[in-house]
């Protein structure tokens, strides 16, 4: 019998037997018989080495074609067997698989979480590391270590929710952190320069609610300490952030500001998205919205954590996260983020 006849015989037998194979076990037996190592087809393929070059070309191609065909048939048959099995099982259980499926509503991330992740990504791409800190904080880290001792007027700008009702010695009174700045001190205590971190998190203030203020909101702190860091590095970093987040066309303004833990201190504001600088309810008619406080880390703070201010300098900034989507999308009331109105939240 010629090899071509052999191949034809294998094809016929394989087709007939595959038609008869009705379950997974039979299909596996068929696969071993016709495509396995000891199959007749494999024998033919192995015998090709004994043929002349011309025969090798024709017979080899025919044998390989048959192999591909057998594999395809097997795949089709496997799918058909699986489908039959599912249909039989559905019929047995009285399930109509032709009915349309039930809608499966997908949840989504809260807009503040989305913005957080986007801002984190911008700063990590600039080489900052993301770290987190406690929301229940010591008076020491929230105020004292940041040059805000008891009775300092700066405490009045951050109305505090205290955990301990009585004042204790050594800054050991607990409170809900009023900003993310305590993490500056915690990180510098643990790590020597170079330091480059951002700290996202919730902060709390005992404040009346209005279109731009709520008692629980989110901040993102940034800190960079190294040799030779200047105010120009701070401005460059924040300008780059603003361009990437708000786009190159939005105007940015830096002005002097005072924070006890920086010297000098600045605030950064962005042109109002609602009125484009003309003045409206959101921006209090100024055309600008302040988004962050920043400055060069005060030498006394560096000294307190054992970093020599003659050798190292650093910049820091702290921004309100909710203000970012407000400015980008022109949302004129911060309370919408926490009002649980799905018509609002679903837009993001
Ligand atoms: C300043 C200098 C630094 O070197 C580092 C950080 C800072 C920021 C400082 N820790 C701070 O908290 N300043 S702040 O009181 O002006 O708040 C920072 C930002 O939080 C504000 O610009 C504003 O965007 C937002 N914010 C403040 N109170 C808010 C609020 N967002 C919503 N609701 C409130 N009640």
Q: What is the CATH number of the domain that holds 123?
A: 3.30.930.10
Residues 80 and 226 placed together within one structural domain of the fold: no
For the record, the structure tokens of 53 come out as 């070059």
The residue whose C-alpha atom lies closest to atom 6 belonging to ligand 1 is 318
Place of tokens 């786009």: 247
Tell me, using a 6 A CB cutoff, whether residue 318 lines ligand 1: yes
The residue whose C-alpha atom lies closest to atom 32 belonging to ligand 1 is 213
Q: Report the pLDDT value the prediction gives residue 3, as an integer from 0 to 100.
A: 81
The residue whose C-alpha atom lies closest to atom 25 belonging to ligand 1 is 320
Say if CB 231 and CB 268 are below 8 A apart.
no
Q: Report the pLDDT value the prediction gives residue 295, as an integer from 0 to 100.
A: 98
Q: What is the pTM of this model?
A: 0.73
Residues 219 and 316 placed together within one structural domain of the fold: yes
Residues 117 and 183 placed together within one structural domain of the fold: yes
- What does the pLDDT average to over 252-265? 95
Residue 105: inside a domain: no
Q: Between residues 224 and 37, which one has the greater pLDDT?
A: 224
Residues 199 and 307 placed together within one structural domain of the fold: yes
pLDDT of 325 above 80: yes
Tell me, using a 6 A CB cutoff, whether residue 290 lines ligand 1: yes
User: What are the Cα distances from residue 62, in Å, to 39, 68, 75, 146, 245?
Assistant: 16, 10, 20, 83, 62
Confidence of residue 41 (pLDDT cuts 50, 70, 90): confident
Q: Between residues 92 and 134, which one has the greater pLDDT?
A: 134
Residues 42 and 117 placed together within one structural domain of the fold: no
Buried b (16+ CB within 10 A) or exposed e, 171-198: bebebbbbbbbbbbbbbbeeeebebbbb
Residues 88 and 115 placed together within one structural domain of the fold: no
Residue 23: inside a domain: yes
Q: Report the pLDDT value the prediction gives residue 225, as an integer from 0 to 100.
A: 98
Residue 167: inside a domain: no
Rounded to the nearest whole angstrom, what is the distance from the C-alpha of residue 316 to the centroid of ligand 1? 12
Residues 88 and 125 placed together within one structural domain of the fold: no
190-196: which pairs have CB atoms within 8 A and are 24 or more residues apart? 192/307, 193/225, 193/226, 193/227, 193/307, 193/312, 193/314, 194/224, 194/225, 194/226, 195/223, 195/224, 195/225, 195/226, 195/314, 196/127, 196/128, 196/129, 196/223, 196/224, 196/225, 196/226
Q: Report the pLDDT value the prediction gives residue 206, as an integer from 0 to 100.
A: 94
Measured CA to CA, the distance from residue 308 to residue 305 in angstroms comes to 9
Best mutation site among 141, 320, 325 for ligand 1, i.e. most ligand atoms within 8 A of its Cβ? 320
Picking from 16, 5, 15, 7, the residue whose alpha carbon sits closest to that of residue 42 is 7
User: Residue 334 CA: which ligand 1 atom is closest?
Assistant: 32
**What range defines the domain where residue 78 resides?**
3-93
Residues 252 and 337 placed together within one structural domain of the fold: yes
Best mutation site among 137, 146, 179, 291 for ligand 1, i.e. most ligand atoms within 8 A of its Cβ? 179
Residues 32 and 117 placed together within one structural domain of the fold: no
Tell me, using a 6 A CB cutoff, whether residue 135 lines ligand 1: no
Residue 98: inside a domain: no
Percent of the residues in the chain that have a pLDDT greater than 70, as a whole number: 99
Residue 145: inside a domain: no
Rounded to the nearest whole angstrom, what is the distance from the C-alpha of residue 262 to the centroid of ligand 1? 14
What mean pLDDT value characterizes the chain? 91
Element (H, E) at 256: strand 252-257
Tell me, using a 6 A CB cutoff, whether residue 317 lines ligand 1: yes
Rounded to the nearest whole angstrom, what is the distance from the C-alpha of residue 221 to the centroid of ligand 1? 9
Best mutation site among 221, 292, 333, 335 for ligand 1, i.e. most ligand atoms within 8 A of its Cβ? 292
pLDDT of 167 above 80: no
Confidence of residue 249 (pLDDT cuts 50, 70, 90): confident
For the record, the structure tokens of 43 come out as 């024998």
Q: Is 18 helix (H, G, I), strand (E, B) or coil?
A: helix
Measured CA to CA, the distance from residue 347 to residue 336 in angstroms comes to 12
- What does the pLDDT average to over 332-344? 91
Q: Report the pLDDT value the prediction gives residue 292, as an integer from 0 to 100.
A: 94
Phi, psi of 225 (to 5 degrees): -130, 130
Tell me, using a 6 A CB cutoff, whether residue 213 lines ligand 1: yes
Tell me, using a 6 A CB cutoff, whether residue 11 lines ligand 1: no
Residue 120: inside a domain: yes
Place of tokens 């924040």: 238
Measured CA to CA, the distance from residue 104 to residue 38 in angstroms comes to 49
Residues 188 and 83 placed together within one structural domain of the fold: no
Number of domains in the chain: 2
Residues 128 and 265 placed together within one structural domain of the fold: yes
- What does the pLDDT average to over 29-34? 92
């Amino acid at each position: 019998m010629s090899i071509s006849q052999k191949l034809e015989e294998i094809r016929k037998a394989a087709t007939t037997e595959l038609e008869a194979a009705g379950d997974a076990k039979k299909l596996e037996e068929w696969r071993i018989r016709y495509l396995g190592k000891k199959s007749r087809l494999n024998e033919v393929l192995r015998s090709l080495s004994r043929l002349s070059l011309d025969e090798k070309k024709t017979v080899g191609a025919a044998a390989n074609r048959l192999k591909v065909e057998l594999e395809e048939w097997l795949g089709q048959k496997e799918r058909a067997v699986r489908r039959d099995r599912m249909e039989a099982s559905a019929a047995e259980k009285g399930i109509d698989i032709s009915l349309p499926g039930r809608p499966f509503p997908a949840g989504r991330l809260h807009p503040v979480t989305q913005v957080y992740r986007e801002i984190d990504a911008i700063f990590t791409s600039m080489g900052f590391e993301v770290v987190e800190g406690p929301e229940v904080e010591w008076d020491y880290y929230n105020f004292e270590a940041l040059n805000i001792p008891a009775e300092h007027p700066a405490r009045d700008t951050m109305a505090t929710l205290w955990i301990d009702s009585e004042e204790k010695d050594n800054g050991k009174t607990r409170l809900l952190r009023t900003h993310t700045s305590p993490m500056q001190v915690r990180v510098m205590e643990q790590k020597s320069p170079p330091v480059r971190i951002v700290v996202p998190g919730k902060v709390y203030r005992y404040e009346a609610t209005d279109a731009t203020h709520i008692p629980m909101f989110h901040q993102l702190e940034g800190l960079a300490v190294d040799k030779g860091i200047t105010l120009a590095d701070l401005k460059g970093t924040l300008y780059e952030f603003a361009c990437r987040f708000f786009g190159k066309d939005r105007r940015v303004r830096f002005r002097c500001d005072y924070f006890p833990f920086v010297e000098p201190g600045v605030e950064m504001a962005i042109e109002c998205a609602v009125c484009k600088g003309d003045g409206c309810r959101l921006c209090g008619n100024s055309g600008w919205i302040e988004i962050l406080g920043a400055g060069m880390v005060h030498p006394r703070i560096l000294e307190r954590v054992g970093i020599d201010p003659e050798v190292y300098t650093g910049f820091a900034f702290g921004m309100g996260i909710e203000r970012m989507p407000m400015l980008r999308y022109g949302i004129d009331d911060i309370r919408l983020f926490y009002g649980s109105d799905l018509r609002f939240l679903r837009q993001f």
